[in-house]
Structure 1
Amino acid sequence: MRFALFSFLLALLAAYAMAAAPLKSVIISYPNETPPHIVDQAMDAIREAGGQITHTYNIIKGFACHAPAAVLEQVQAWGNEYNALIEEDQIVTTNNNNKKQ
């Protein structure tokens, strides 16, 4: 009970502190054996910090979001046991159309 209350207060404080923080666009993924509550906890923390979940993936265990950098550090720390991978969301192509000539 104390841990849950402490976690809630910490998340609330983090949300207050990050209210004006710029948002980063990232993809967060977890190994397949990660319990769903870990992913849900990360998504809830991002929403509470003023972030937005932009996509939830079905093929992999993960989601895309816009979130403050500080809450991403928090999510990364929670994912130590399940090795959360946080990557910048960007366009990836298969063709090398950006060659300099």
Structure 2
Amino acid sequence: MRLFRFFLAALTLFSSALAVDIQKSVIVSYPEGTPDSVLDQAKDAIRQAGGQITHEYTLIRGFAAKCGEKVLETVTEWGTKYNALIEEDQVASAL
């Protein structure tokens, strides 16, 4: 019985270690008039979660990032007041 409990505990620890946050490439943009502090807060949260800012845009108020899904949920919640648009980065082509 003890061996079964030990095995069950080890299996639980192993499965939780495998629950890795999936990395995504995204573009985060905000409308004109959004304070710089909002963008800085979002970028800092992504960096602290182990993500990286891959590009900062000058024509639009936003940036591109590679980060986990969990931090994207947080950034999305913060951005609802400012109508943030978070979309997955994709290859675009003209036909």
Normalising to structure 1: TM-score of the pair? Answer: 0.73
Task: Identify the residue that residue 78 of structure 1 maps to in structure 2.
Answer: 78
- Deviations 1:31-63 (CA, angstroms, capped at 9, x unpaired): 011000000000000000000000000000000
- Deviations 1:7-32 (CA, angstroms, capped at 9, x unpaired): xxxxxxxxxxxxx4221000000001
| Higher helix proportion (structure 1 or 2) | 2
Task: Identify the residue that residue 42 of structure 1 maps to in structure 2.
Answer: 42
Gaps of 5+ in 1: 1-19, 96-101
Amino acid at match of 2:31: P
Q: Give the SS at the match of 1:38.
A: helix
Q: Give the SS at the match of 2:82.
A: coil
Amino acid at match of 1:62: G
Q: Give the SS at the match of 2:81.
A: coil
Aligned residues: 76
Q: Give the SS at the match of 1:55.
A: strand
Normalising to structure 2: TM-score of the pair? Answer: 0.78
Amino acid at match of 1:27: I
Amino acid at match of 1:65: A
Bigger radius of gyration: 2
2: CA distance, partners of 1:71 / 1:77: 10
Q: Give the SS at the match of 1:70.
A: helix
Q: Give the SS at the match of 1:80.
A: helix
Correspondences of 1:1-101 after superposition (within 5 Å): 20-95=20-95
Gaps of 5+ in 2: 1-19
Moved over 4 A (4+): none
- Deviations 1:59-78 (CA, angstroms, capped at 9, x unpaired): 00000000100100100000
The sequence identity of aligned pairs, in percent, is 57
Q: Give the SS at the match of 1:91.
A: coil
